[in-house]
Structure 1
Amino acid sequence: MTRTVRAVAVQPKWHAHDFLNAAAFERWMKQQLELARPHLSETRPNLVVLTELNGLPLVLRGGALAAATGKFEWAAALLFVQHLPRALPILLKEKVSPIRALQLARANENAALYLETCQKLAREYGVYLVSGSTPMPHYQLCGTRLRREGSALYNQTLIFAPDGSLIGSADKVHLTPDEQAGGVDLTLGKLEDLRVFPTPVGDLGVAISLDAFRADVIGKLMNGGCTVLLQPDANGSTWTGKEGIYPAGQQPRDQPLAWLESSWQVTDSNQIRYAVNPMVVGNLLDMTFDGQSAITGPDEREVTEGGFPPRSYVMTPLRRGFLALLPWVSDGTPQELREVGQQLAAGSGHVLENAYLSGAVHADLHLPASTLVPPPVTPHERALTAFLEGQASLPPSPLRWGWAALLTLLGAAWWLIRRPQGRR
């Protein structure tokens, strides 16, 4: 028996000011569901997929001065100093990098905000919500509190049901150089931990960004019975430039051409029928993000209803398989498009700087009935569920009074060192 569901890919445009406080972040996330609203079906289940690392800039929360620097490295340094009382103990005790220590110092508060915001939106709009992804530790449930498990920090996707319950989580396995040490310093997920989640909107498998280009991830999800691939994305470079990651000894290709090796190619298989690939756009400090959000899959209407028109990313030939595709900023020759890409980029000074397109696209997916059994719940998912159900809390970060607490401790230590010693 075939079931039909509505999939929506949302392409937001972000800016540093969207992350300076909780209200701004909640407003920015809600705007994405408002972009999706006109595309939602009233008669069938809806699957809304958001973009990769949409929780990463929460590290800027409370850091207006850091955001004003306009540069990621300067902002990170200033934020580390601002949150030194929380980050320094983690840096020294857990022997991690400053950028990892900064993120871990704020992990609990940011995780709570992210989880509560996504749960609320799934409930409010009545959709299956793929949250995008955010840097998040793994948690364990200890009584009525969640405790961070080690110093690892994963690029993690969460999937919510329309009632706000957590369906599952997935960590990114293959990290880009910008996500590794020297960048935002995240932790590699484990291939063996990837699972497929049977839901009323498909047997969902997550391949975050680069994972969708990797045969080991696609093979794992395919063998697990995935019918709908979820590819949240944050492409950190100009869309009409050259690819940044390519095999040694080969020349880099135009990025849209290289992108055809992810979602569009995957759905040519007999197992994975559809892929939903939302991409974030916008200049975040001095970082550029661009792309074209798409939903790909077989064209079942090709004979009976005329089918979907051939289309493709800019700078690539038209082709079948794109059920929905958000247009890029402009049309033109490859050279003209490369120039526009540079004009859009951070720091260009051009009138088109940051003039990216946001929006949403949708497609109806025709899926067979699922025969999969839900995978076992992990300890991390059990901990997050306890939090979302109000049965457990995320404790505040240590030294939550910041510099006042640190100065008090330093003063006490100085007094203990300098006080007169009694006779023995």
Structure 2
Amino acid sequence: MRKVLGTLTAVVLAILLVSYALWTSKRHVGHYLTDLRIQVVINDGQPGGRGNLLGIQPELFPSDYSSVKRLHRKLAAYLEQARERGLINDKTIVVLPEHIGTWLFAVDEKAQFYQASTIEEAMNWLSFSNPLLFFDALLHARGESRLDDAHLRMKARSMAQDYQNVFGGLAKEFGVTLVAGSIVLPGPEVRDGQLQPGKGALYNSSVVFGHDGLPIGQPQRQLFPSWYQRSYIRSGKDAPLNVIDTPAGRLATLIGSDSWYPENYRRLNDSGAELIAVPAFVAGNGSWSQPWRSDKHQTLATHLQAGPEPLTEGQAWQRLTLAPISNAKAGISVFMRGQFWDQGSAGHSFASRSGQSIAEHSISATPKGARPGHGARLINLWL
């Protein structure tokens, strides 16, 4: 009897393991794209022969990342609308928001993952449907929050490849220089024209792609990660600030709150930066209008000259970013929009010309059916 029970138990376990393996191999297939409408909210200056800085503030959701093809189609639709408006030429520098590449961990996942109600639930499905990748990543995790580290590390190789395919592909397709927001990867570097992850700590990094779809130089690491990410993303405070040559001028990228610190602008002045791109991300719906808490950021933030009166998050960004001490002739700060499970985002993109801030204002009417404060946006600055 004991032998029979043992055999039955083994058969049941085998069936469960086979069923689990089959379940993990089946992936969600999306059948529609989310809203492709986009409106121009900044169009400053006049077209000339010097090119332009063009920020695309997309509105993205988990389902947009269900496949590389879907994400490409959505972003290409935004760029096509910009081209139809005459905002793209061979000297255009397109700037995308921070973490637009980080969400590539969501590519090719189970339906339950996209249907989760919270980001915690979604991460549980991510681990459950990729057990071998997850446990391997957990073994190599470096951050204090090993679980968060593992979730971003586990698909690093495919994320790096997808990042280059999507954003390098868009740069080549539209003939532009493209600042591809940012992506979190372990020790990223460009080797033989390809973005490759390493095995070290996670860094939030940005890559610029040229007209040929290939990276220009090495990834720009974020010097000062956001307060809510410091337990799993390593500071790149000793990393160089890259300045690259583009058809529109010498370009530098400051990721997120790196754009607050005067020392970074002094370093870029010494390197001859003429243009500055700031891919940015502010977590939480409505947080743009909430009080700014310098104590939640780097120690350096408590010494910033933000003024005596209390500031909102948005006012702090607009006062500190693209500082007047910069010698750059123009800059643009582009934020993410959208909702990733229960994590929303906030931020109003803005530009700067010779140290003077240019705030968002509506050029075209809000698209029919769009909610105020929502929807994708184009921010254009003629050079």
Specify if TM > 0.5.
yes
* TM-score, scaled to structure 2: 0.74
SS of 1:325's partner is coil
* TM-fit CA distance, 1:17: 0.8
* TM-fit CA distance, 1:281: 1.3
* TM-fit CA distance, 1:213: 0.6
Matches within 5 A, 1:96-175: 97-139=146-188, 148-168=197-217, 169-175=219-225
Deviations 1:109-130 (A, max 9, x none): 1111110111111111111111
Alignment-derived partner of residue 260 in structure 1: 318
Alignment-derived partner of residue 194 in structure 1: 241
Match of 1:283 among 339, 361, 365: 339
How many pairs are equivalent? Answer: 319
Highest relative contact order (Cα 8 Å, sep 6+), 1 or 2?
2
Are the equivalent residues in 2 in contact too, given 1:211–1:217 (CA < 8 A)? yes
Match of 2:57 among 6, 11, 19: 11
* TM-fit CA distance, 1:207: 0.6
1:84 aligns with 2:131: yes
Inter-CA distance 90–142: structure 2 relative to 1 (3 Å threshold): same
Matches within 5 A, 1:201-350: 201-237=248-284, 238=286, 239-246=288-295, 253-264=311-322, 266=323, 268-269=324-325, 271-298=327-354, 321-322=357-358, 325-327=360-362
Within 2, Cα distance between the matches of 1:64 and 1:321?
43
Task: Structure 1: state its 5+ residue gaps.
Answer: 300-319, 331-350, 366-424
Alignment-derived partner of residue 30 in structure 1: 76
* TM-fit CA distance, 1:49: 0.7
Deviations 1:372-413 (A, max 9, x none): xxxxxxxxxxxxxxxxxxxxxxxxxxxxxxxxxxxxxxxxxx
Deviations 1:50-84 (A, max 9, x none): 11100122222214312322211221223122222
Are the equivalent residues in 2 in contact too, given 1:6–1:46 (CA < 8 A)? yes
Q: Percent identity?
A: 21
* TM-fit CA distance, 1:252: 5.3
Task: Structure 2: state its 5+ residue gaps.
Answer: 1-47, 296-300
Inter-CA distance 224–142: structure 2 relative to 1 (3 Å threshold): closer
Matches within 5 A, 1:56-95: 56-61=102-107, 62-94=109-141
Within 1, Cα distance between the matches of 2:276 and 2:86?
19
Deviations 1:117-159 (A, max 9, x none): 1111111111111111111233568999986432322111111
Q: CA RMSD in A?
A: 3.3
Inter-CA distance 277–35: structure 2 relative to 1 (3 Å threshold): farther
* TM-score, scaled to structure 1: 0.67
Are the equivalent residues in 2 in contact too, given 1:9–1:295 (CA < 8 A)? no
Within 2, Cα distance between the matches of 1:98 and 1:8?
36
Inter-CA distance 196–355: structure 2 relative to 1 (3 Å threshold): closer
SS of 2:60's partner is coil
Within 1, Cα distance between the matches of 2:90 and 2:129?
48
* TM-fit CA distance, 1:218: 2.2
Inter-CA distance 281–90: structure 2 relative to 1 (3 Å threshold): closer
Deviations 1:168-224 (A, max 9, x none): 32011111122222xxx2222234422211222121111111000122322222221
Deviations 1:92-121 (A, max 9, x none): 255651222222220111111110111111
Alignment-derived partner of residue 421 in structure 1: none
Are the equivalent residues in 2 in contact too, given 1:53–1:133 (CA < 8 A)? yes
Match of 2:227 among 177, 180, 195: 177
* TM-fit CA distance, 1:22: 2.1
* TM-fit CA distance, 1:27: 2.1
Alignment-derived partner of residue 374 in structure 2: 356
Which moved further from structure 2: 352-361 or 61-70?
352-361
SS of 2:114's partner is helix
Inter-CA distance 3–192: structure 2 relative to 1 (3 Å threshold): farther
Inter-CA distance 293–146: structure 2 relative to 1 (3 Å threshold): closer
Matches within 5 A, 1:396-415: none
Within 2, Cα distance between the matches of 1:160 and 1:144?
10
Within 2, Cα distance between the matches of 1:77 and 1:248?
36
Within 2, Cα distance between the matches of 1:354 and 1:58?
28
Inter-CA distance 88–195: structure 2 relative to 1 (3 Å threshold): same
Within 2, Cα distance between the matches of 1:153 and 1:362?
32
Are the equivalent residues in 1 in contact too, given 2:136–2:154 (CA < 8 A)? no
SS of 2:233's partner is coil
Q: Which runs of 4+ in 1 moved over 6 A?
A: 140-147, 351-354
Are the equivalent residues in 2 in contact too, given 1:122–1:129 (CA < 8 A)? yes
